[in-house]
Amino acid sequence: MLTQRCVRTGSNARAGRLYAVLALLVLGLLSGCVSTQVRTAEDPAGKPLRIDGSVVLVEPDIELYELSAGGLTEPRKAWTETARRLYPQAARDLLQAQGIALRPDFILPADAGPENRLRQLQLLNQAVSISILQYARPSSPLRNKHGKFDWTLGPGVAELRQATGADYALFTYVRDSYTSGGRAAMRVIGFLLLGGDIGGGMQVGLASLVDLRTGQVVWHNLLLDQTGDMRDPGGARETAGDLLKGIRR
């Protein structure tokens, strides 16, 4: 399900590669100021699966950047820390308002390296999300090979269930960039001299809900937003609302 909403225009190596892949994919998938692409697994009767059990929010993978005049993204630690604090609370509030039972958030230990199995599970989820997006592309040779939304992380999710006691895990990935003063000036020059927009900041988000009893991805969403802002409570709530669209008890 693809939805779009327009509002006025506003201002570690693996993560960089993932963001680059996402940027290429979304250009072919979505358009407009705010777009979401929700996919939900179905039961044997063809009806969307609903949540039957408790949910744990896995520590979100969130990074915020400033887009310089030259188009380079520069990490902003204070912005990132604010978003990592505000978004989980906004997500919990949204899910609880729907009557969804929540387990305490799962935070990976700071020293959890790539060999950590739960860290590997988080990275596997990101890889599966990329595969889902590639499958959704109109030009994808895989597009017509499956008659339904059918993806899994495999039996390894049992470790996360054992660690959290939850029935489902909510994984979130967000990269958000904001136009600097210099970039804003360059956009004006682009309009005046080139007759087009050289682009500004953009919010790209992925979220997936995984059944920890089976490994099945029961819900998935891609968010592309040219105006989202996670640096204040209101913006974090708006992002959570767009990114978690379609999750139902």
Q: Is residue 161 part of a domain?
A: yes
Question: pLDDT value at position 10?
Answer: 36
Question: pLDDT value at position 74?
Answer: 82
Q: Is residue 133 part of a domain?
A: yes
Q: Is residue 187 part of a domain?
A: yes
Q: Is residue 248 part of a domain?
A: no
Predicted confidence band of residue 104 (pLDDT cuts 50, 70, 90): very high
Q: Is residue 249 part of a domain?
A: no
Q: Is 122 helix (H, G, I), strand (E, B) or coil?
A: helix
Mean pLDDT of 57-63: 94
Question: pLDDT value at position 173?
Answer: 93
Question: How many Å apart are CA 152 and CA 193, to the nearest integer?
Answer: 49
Percent of the chain clearing pLDDT 70 (strictly above): 70
Predicted confidence band of residue 113 (pLDDT cuts 50, 70, 90): confident
29 versus 102: the higher-pLDDT residue is 102
Q: Is residue 121 part of a domain?
A: yes
Number of domains in the chain: 1
Question: How many Å apart are CA 33 and CA 6, to the nearest integer?
Answer: 5
Helix ranges, the chain (H): 13-29, 77-97, 117-136, 158-164, 181-189, 233-243
Q: Is residue 113 part of a domain?
A: yes
Predicted confidence band of residue 227 (pLDDT cuts 50, 70, 90): confident
Quote the mean pLDDT of the chain: 78
Question: pLDDT value at position 58?
Answer: 97
Tokens describing residue 150: 């059918």
Domain of residue 36: give its range: 2-243
